Structure 1
Amino acid sequence: MYTYKNIFLTAMMFFIPFANLIAEEESESQNGIGSDDIVVRTTYTPLIADATKVTFSASIESEKIEPPTLRYSLPVQLIPVTYEQPNIRPIAIPQERPQPGKSSYARLGFGTQLSPLVEVLYTGGQTERFTFGGYFNHHSARGGMDFQTFGKNNIHFFTDYFFDRIKIDARAGYNNHIVHYYGFPEDSVFNKSDVRQSFNEYFIEANLRNTKDNRANIDYYLGMSADYFTDRYDATEVGAKVYAKFHKTFRNKHYIDFIFSVDHVNFESPTTDYQKNLIAINPHYTFFDESWRLTAGLNGTFEGNVFHLFPHLSTEKTIIGQQVIFYNGWKRYLDVNRYKFLAEENYFIDNDLEIKNPRIEERFAGFKGTVINNLAYDARFTQKIVENQPLFVNNPNNIKKFNTIYEKRMNIVNLHASVSYHLSNKLNFLLEADYYRHELDEEEKAWHMPSFKMKFATGYNIGDKIILSSEIYGVDGVYAKLPNDEALKLNGLFDLNIGATYHFSNHLSFFGQVNNIASIKHERWYRYPTYGFNAMIGATLSY
């Protein structure tokens, strides 16, 4: 089994040849070689991404900056999501963004459920070569039930530096999320400290990529990251990752990509000691012209001493211009599972758990396109066969916490349809729906996994002064497993949210947000109803 020293040595062996290449390129630039090149200093990443349909959110797109993505952001090839959790806000959060041309802002808000919001972004430097900054966020709320409170705190720092041919960026920060196990029986008596849970994450990452062609004509992206994740009940998890992607283009139609990654996970709790190393090698070839996009590759993964070799095939055919495009694919892969990922999905999890990496086989086919200018659609059929699918069930001996169990084999059929429309900077809408059918070998139900969800979102911009938005969510009730092994179907949700932003000046704006107008207390997790009706008002100062 690999140790930290093995992982470090592997990373150094992988990066040293490219350090020499970078040094040679920098030397050529300093000696005047290739002085006719035009240096483009942007955040451009010269990597070929998979073709996707552009969709639009409910917020009107405007020339407003948004906080940088500061979380653990290395590209991850082997962490797909089995299903997408419905976007239900537990408490109102403003959606507006600062005025154009401003690189820093401060936002203050306050809402029902005694909910303060403080958010500050500062960006300094901003020269042609160098920029740096920091981000702080606090948001908390208190619900109507005993101990129905939460708090989030984030402190991040970031920097970017441009050389003549490469860009280096780094991120570091701290994330804290406090919740309480308020889903206990009504006749139980607890002190607040008895049901308090606090998750803490410390993370750091650094990435390097080329911004210009090199002598080998190979685009590259290299990254390393590490994080330390803890909870209040003596669970700790260390994660480390080394990632590299190389891309080569031939004759503007043929593309070869090679992806290499090493993941190390070490999880310890009072009852569990888990350590795993995953080494992934993913070569693939893509042919891309005006009518076809064909991709064939392999996903090879060492899970400890076990090697998995999986295929990856996909096609995309243009039938009628951009109006009708057919696509399909087949792939198998190993999903990376961690205590941190499980806790981020369900904050009421018990750390007395086993960690298994799901193996997934996925087949999909669909049609997509853009018609009538800015009207886009996507209709897709997907089948997933998942071995070791994690499910959450209430602990029969401590019902306010959730155990993690694993379904040996789950067949998931998904029908997806979406339509979006975007009219300049004035009007946009998105309508999407998903149906899921779950077939299980061992468990009676797919516990806490919905079978239907829908969303309709709109946004309207009035003279670049007032921005209005509305969102409707619907999700059917999920099944919970009771201590006597019976299945209980929880209430579904039909939720309406509205928001407005008024830009008083180039530096000052005001916002208001109202969520869950129908005040339906949906239970995403058994015994944990959401907050119901909630609202927030506030102001944003851009500078």
Structure 2
Amino acid sequence: MRWINSIIIIAILALGSWSTLLAQGDLPSGQVDIVKSFEARLAEANRVEVKPVLPALDTSTRRLQYTVVPKDIAVEYLPPKIRPLAFRTEQPPAVYDGYLRLGGGLPSAFYGEFSYDLTKNEAFDLGVDLFRHSANNTNQVENQRFNNTKLGLDGTYYFEQGFAVQGNVGYHNRGIYYYGYNEINDELDTAKYTFEPDQVMQRFSTVDLGLDLFNGQRTVGDFNYRAGVDLYLLNDEYAARENGLLLTIEATKWFAEQHPLSVVLRTDFTAYKDTTKQSLNNFHLEPSYTYHGDMFQVKVGLNLTSNNDKYSIFPDIEASANIIEGVVTAFVGATGNLRKNNLRSLSEYNPFIRTRVRIRNTRFTEYYGGVRGNIIGATYNAQIGYTQADNLALFQLNDPFDSIPRFNVLYDTANIVTIKGSIILPLFEGLELTGSITQNIFSLEREEKPWHLPSTTISAGARYTNPEQQFSLRADLFLENGVPYRT
């Protein structure tokens, strides 16, 4: 029944709409009469603010397991075209099998040095070294001349097990001639002497032998080791003899590839014979640890020595810090040791000594500080130090009335203030200038002056090396103040 009423209502509405359409048929086409403008107004309403709220975080731990099913997919593609690309690389530095160095000077001086690698085997190295330096000024001063000759042969064999053995043999011949006797005669107003060269010749001949065992490859634990023995036999024209034996054991453990912990054990024996026999035996134990930081470096160690059952402890300390990276580095340190004054060391410093000497140790402790670095390409080093030395070797004329002047060795206790500096200045590629100066201020306990020890030493030089590193030219100038002497 309800649906019949719905049909009747729909039919009445449809007839009404149709009659309205028929009633507007008399309006002109394209014209619309606006009876009243329509203005829409919204009723007042209250604003409702809604603040979003984040849902609570899910902090529970969930373990997800994914199963990937492998599947081979056939992919068809054209073969790639490989085209090599050329890159410019720097040539490795040239390696030469040997070198030859020649030089000359005044008066009538010759300098020659030759070194050559006889083998080209990675497991075995064998090299030979030759050296000759001589000068002759007999035209100005009678018998003022010298010659210095060295011959050496060394070889190293690297075993597959990682260790290596190195051996060397050398011969050193130093020929000097006592001179200056006529100058002393002029000063003392005595009769002049004249001598044939063989009458005033002194010759020191030394044979050196050495053998070392060390790790030829890097070990798994970054541990380096070395055990060595060195022997020398020395004699002169006046029947003086001296033999020396040095035994060395070294061990170094590296931490983080840059912090070494080292221990060195050395036993140094010297036997001297002239009209009497003397011996000088030293023992050294030298532990140290060095730490390298980004802006600083610190070494802490000591040198424990023994001589004739007398023990001494010397410092081995140095600390440095970069004040301005690459420009200024400041450093301070303290070190000390026993330095042997035997026939070999004394004759190398002053070959005009009487070989009937008293061999002793110089016991020294040095404290120093300074700065080093590089400014606009110039490398510099400036340092000041203070040294306490017991048994410092001095040299005194044996007898001013002796026809052939020779020097005796005497010892004194001294305090020494040292100021020194050096610089390396490259002017352009291949050419660099070098210079250094050292000033020593001595304060002695017994002697009036440091006899025959220079207070001021100055050196300057220039070196040019061609771009191919095949040859170099070098010139050096050395100056010292007049040394004090006692007649």
Which range, TM-score by smaller chain?
A: 0.7 to 0.9
Could you tell me which residue of structure 2 aligns to residue 80 of structure 1? none
Deviation at 1:445, TM superposition (A): 0.5
Q: Sort the Cα spacing of 1:202 and 1:370 in 2 relative to 1 into closer, same or farther, 3 A.
A: same
Counterparts of 2:472 and 2:288 in 1: how far apart (Å)?
A: 44
Q: Which amino acid aligns with 1:275?
A: S
Residues 124 and 261 of structure 1: is their aligned pair in 2 closer, same or farther, counting only changes over 3 Å?
same
Match of 2:176 in 1: 179
Aligned equivalents of 1:314, 1:112: Cα separation in 2: 42
CA contact (8 A) 1:147 1:181 kept: yes
> Which residue does 2:240 correspond to in 1?
235
| AA aligned opposite 1:158 | D
Residues of 2 paired with 1:343 and 1:305: CA distance? 27
Deviation at 1:161, TM superposition (A): 1.2
Alignment of 1:329-344 (within 5 A): 329-344=333-348
Q: 1:452/1:106 Cα in 2 relative to 1: closer, same or farther (>3 Å)?
A: closer
The reply on whether 1:288 has 2:292 as its aligned counterpart is yes
Return the TM-score normalized by structure 1.
0.65
CA distance in 1, matches of 2:464, 2:457: 24
Distance 2:462 2:427 in 1: 12
Distance 1:117 1:369 in 2: 33
1:162 and 2:158 correspond: yes
Correspondence for 1:151: 147
Distance 1:422 1:208, change over 3 A: farther
1:458 matched to 2:454? The reply is no
Asked if structure 2 preserves the Cα contact closer than 8 Å seen for 1:220 and 1:247, the reply is yes
Mean CA deviation greater in 455-464 or 239-248: 455-464
Tell me, yes or no, if structure 1 residue 131 matches structure 2 residue 125.
yes
1:317, CA displacement in angstroms? Answer: 1.3
How far 1:215 moved relative to its partner? 4.7
**AA of the residue aligned to 2:146:** F
Structure 2 vs 1, CA of residues 114 and 294 (structure 1 numbering), >3 Å: closer, same or farther? closer
Compute the displacement of 1:363 (Å).
0.5
**1:329/1:363 contact within 8 Å kept:** yes
Q: Which amino acid aligns with 2:486?
A: K
Go from structure 1 to structure 2 and tell me whether the alpha carbon gap of 1:248 and 1:102 turns closer, same or farther (over 3 Å shift): closer
Q: Counterpart amino acid of 1:128? A: E
For structure 1, list consecutive stretches of 5 or more residues without a partner in the other structure: 1-62, 65-99, 483-543
1:351-380 per-position Cα deviation (integer Å, ceiling 9, x unaligned): 1211110110110011111222x2222111
Contact 1:339 1:355 in 2 (8 A): yes
The match for 2:372 is 368
Do the aligned partners of 2:338 and 2:363 also contact (CA within 8 Å) in 1? yes
- Offset of residue 211 of structure 1: 3.1
Structure 1 counterpart of 2:441: 437
Question: Residue 438 of structure 1: SS of its match in structure 2?
Answer: strand
Distance 1:438 1:179 in 2: 29
Counterpart check, 1:414 vs 2:395? no
Give the match for residue 486 of structure 1. Answer: none
Q: Which amino acid aligns with 1:430?
A: T
Instruction: Tell me how far 1:190 sits from its aligned partner.
Output: 3.1
Match of residue 199 from structure 1: 204
Change (3 A) 1:461 1:160: closer
User: Deviations for 1:215-258, whole angstroms, at most 9, x for unmatched residues?
Assistant: 55311122111000110001000001111211112234643110
CA contact (8 A) 1:154 1:174 kept: yes
Residues 122-172 of structure 1: per-residue CA shift (max 9 Å, x gap): 432221111213233444443222222322232211112122322322110
Cα distance in 1 for residues equivalent to 2:135 and 2:421: 35
Q: CA deviation at 1:180?
A: 1.1
Match of 1:255 among 257, 260, 267: 260
Matches within 5 A, 1:494-509: none
Other-structure match for 2:217: 212
Mapped to 2, the partners of 1:258 and 1:466 lie a distance apart of: 40
Larger RCO: Structure 1 or Structure 2 (Cα < 8 Å, ≥ 6 residues apart)? Answer: 1
Q: Does 1:319 align with 2:323?
A: yes
CA contact (8 A) 1:258 1:284 kept: yes
- Asked whether the equivalents of residues 280 and 360 of structure 2 are also in contact (C-alpha less than 8 Å), the reply is no
Number of residue pairs aligned between Structure 1 and Structure 2: 382
Over 3 Å counting, the alpha-carbon distance change for 1:449 and 1:209 in structure 2 is: same
* TM-aligned CA distance change 1:234 to 1:155, over 3 Å: same
User: Shift of residue 459 of structure 1?
Assistant: 2.7
- Please give the secondary structure, in 2, of the residue aligned with 1:400: coil
Give the match's secondary structure for 2:354.
coil
Q: Is the 8 Å Cα contact of residues 427 and 433 (structure 2) preserved in structure 1?
A: no
CA distance in 1, matches of 2:259, 2:102: 50
SS of 2:169 mapped into structure 1: strand
| CA separation of 1:317 and 1:350: change in aligned 2, threshold 3 A | same
- Give the Å deviation of 1:462: 6.2
- For 1:392 and 1:438, the matched residues in 2 are separated by 15
Give me the whole-angstrom Cα distance separating, in 1, the residues matched to 2:295 and 2:367: 22
Shift of 1:279: 1.2
Q: Partner residue of 1:390?
A: 393
Distance in 2 of aligned mates of 1:113 and 1:421: 29
TM-score, with structure 2 as normaliser: 0.72
Gap change, CA 1:350 and 1:212, over 3 Å in 2: same
2:431 and 2:104 map into 1 onto residues whose CA distance is: 28
What does 1:18-97 align with in structure 2 at a 5 Å threshold?
Answer: none
**Structure 2 alignment gaps of length 5 or more:** 1-91, 186-191
| SS of aligned partner of 2:202 | strand
| Alignment equivalent of 1:400, drawn from 393, 396, 405 | 405
Give SS of 1:340's match: helix
Among 346, 356, 360, the residue aligned to 1:356:
360
Identical residues among aligned pairs (%):
25
Instruction: Determine if contact 1:253/1:289 at 8 Å carries over to the other structure.
Output: no
CA shift for structure 1 position 341: 0.6
- Measured in 2, the distance between the counterparts of 1:138 and 1:294 equals 41
- Higher-Rg structure is 2
